[in-house]
Amino acid sequence: MTMPTPQCPWRMQVHHIHQETPDVWTLSLLCHDYYPYRPGQHALVSVGNSADTLRAYTLSSTPGVSEYITLTVRRIDDGTGSQWLTRDVKRGDYIWLSDAMGEFTCDNEPNDRFLLLAAGCGVTPIMSMRRWLAKYRPQADVQVIFNIRSPQDVIFADEWRNYPVTLVAENNATHGFVSGRLSRELLQSVPDIASRTVMTCGPAPYMEMVEKEVKALGVTRFFKEKFFTPVADAVNSGLKFTKLQPAQEFYGPVGTTLLEAMESNKVPVQAACRAGVCGCCKTKVVSGDYTVTSTMTLSEQEIADGYVLACSCHPQGDLVLA
């Protein structure tokens, strides 16, 4: 019997596993207690049922609609979490999840006109929200544009038959697919785009392009969810960070978070939610000025001792780390 970890108290059993595409699988989980979550949210998964290895995955299921809690995972060659979930975890196994987290959700959006944009596995929160809108806001006008590499990479292919969707295939487009990539011309073809709430998820360059294009078309309600966090290149000037154990000096640009500075310089640090919720990136600051946006998992004594959540720590000058 596996045991819970401090951040992942929810035990779930794998009911079945479905292969979506050549490199994507959906794990359907049974939770024997009520598990509260909102459409589009994500959760931490205890990889290998270990408290030391946590990874964040979107809950691709939809509250009040889906029979199971589902995780839809793309297998990454060097991905610790994705390799475990798609190779090692089998039907009947138990895995542990955190509370649901994240604000990328449609359930509190007053607008009834949506444009949902996804690329690759960024479709997981988009499908979660699309089902929710169909169930609870059937009057909503919802347009979806989903970008994939090729027709064989359509995640939730069978389910998309239930909803209007524009599928854009970069390679080998066949009947029913728009050939190429998302373009301003395609966005301009969306009726009344400026009046819509636009929500997007996918690789960072894709979301940056979407944000630029839709705002140029007059969109004012725009929300995005990072499907992954790219690591910035290391720099050799700016804020100086001195790590005492082991001894190391490195730099980060002004405006960086402590986590970004550590990751760009390959300083070992655990990170999962990147939102000041999970507590994985707890780091001790010995001296220096900084501000924080979250202390959610830290005790008063830890705060007094100089501990911060690196993802929520914003250096105001040079820092010395334990």
pLDDT tens per residue, range 264-297: 999 988 877 777 777 789 999 999 999 999 888 8
Q: Look at residue 236 in the predicted model and tell me its pLDDT.
A: 92
Which CATH number characterizes residue 177's domain?
3.40.50.80
Residue 91 lies in a domain: yes
Sign of CA pseudo-dihedral 77, 78, 82, 83: positive
DSSP 30-91: E-SS-----TT-EEEEEGGG-TT-EEEEEB-S-TTT-SSEEEEEE--TT-HHHHIIIII--T
Counting beta carbons within 10 angstroms of the beta carbon of residue 308, is it exposed (0 to 12), middle (13 to 18) or buried (19 or more)?
buried
* Residue 176 and residue 150 in contact, taking contact as beta carbons nearer than 8 Å: no
- In single-letter form, the type of residue at position 47 comes to V
Domain boundary among 48, 64, 97: 97
Q: What pLDDT digit, counting tens, does each position of 168-198 carry?
A: 999 999 999 999 999 999 999 999 999 999 9
Q: Nearest to residue 258, comparing CAs of 304, 293, 223? A: 293
* Average pLDDT, integer, range 94-113: 94
Asked whether 228 and 278 are in contact (CB, 8 A), the reply is: no
Q: What is the pLDDT of residue 228?
A: 54
DSSP annotation of 5 reads B
Residue at 262 is within a domain: yes
**219 and 282 co-located in one domain:** no
Q: Do 76 and 117 fall within a single domain? A: no
Q: Is 66 inside any structural domain?
A: yes
Given 202, 226, 250, the domain boundary residue is 226
For residues 260 and 310, membership in a common domain is answered with: yes
